[in-house]
Amino acid sequence: MLGRALLSLLTLTLLGGCATVRTLDAAKPGAPIIYSGTRLDWFSLHGGCCPLERFGAEAPRYAALDLPASAVLDTLLLPFAVATELGVGLGVRGGL
């Protein structure tokens, strides 16, 4: 039971700082869409300057820890990212 609670807490912590989640609604013109979170982490790990200007979002504090989770989430979202990059409107909207 304690292990499950710790795993849930870790998951929530990573999602709040996850690069993929941060770049989803960045809406920065010209920012990468495909594998955006993974690219933001990689950019940050290699000393890239000014991620806010490039990606429209700040890099997570622990980019090395976030990189695997962002790669998985970016892979799951890949069909939507490709559709967006190609200009295909999927009619998906958030909120109520």
Instruction: Give pLDDT tens digits for 35-94.
Output: 999 999 999 999 888 888 888 888 888 888 888 888 988 999 899 888 888 888 666 665
Alpha-carbon distance of 59 to 18, in angstroms, equals 9
Alpha-carbon distance of 77 to 96, in angstroms, equals 22
On whether the CB atoms of residues 63 and 51 are closer than 8 A, the answer is: no
Nearest to 80 by CA among 88, 72, 71, 68: 88
- Report CA torsion sign: 23, 37, 17, 54: negative
pLDDT given at position 14:
58
Alpha-carbon distance of 20 to 1, in angstroms, equals 29
pLDDT tens digits along 5-42: 667 656 655 566 688 888 887 777 888 889 999 999 99
